[in-house]
Amino acid sequence: MKKSDLAFQLRERQKRFQSKLSERMVSDKVVNALTDEKIIESYVKCCKCGEKSIKDGDLDGVIDSVSSAEEFLDYLDKNSSCLN
């Protein structure tokens, strides 16, 4: 999968998630303004402790090996050592 395609799918996922909330955390405009790298990092990096589920050097290989954002998120869930 190309990084830009993954970033697009993650942005769309974030917008769908937020549309279900009574109060949005951030606007679609902010989500759309994030670079591809920043939107992907927001899923890779734990918001509580800052630990990354994937090392920087491995990220491109993981992205290349998945075919969807859901598969990418499944990979993160299975490979994260963070307990937060």
Chain segment 7-34, per-residue pLDDT in tens: 999 999 999 888 877 776 788 889 899 9
3-state secondary structure the chain: CCHHHHHHHHHHHHHHHHHCCCCCCCCHHHHHHCCHHHHHHHHHECCCCCCECCCHHHHHHHHHHCCCHHHHHHHHHHHCCCCC
Between 62 and 53, the more confident residue is: 62
Residue with tokens 């679609």: 28
Residue with tokens 């951030």: 26
pTM: 0.84
Mean per-residue pLDDT over the chain, rounded: 89
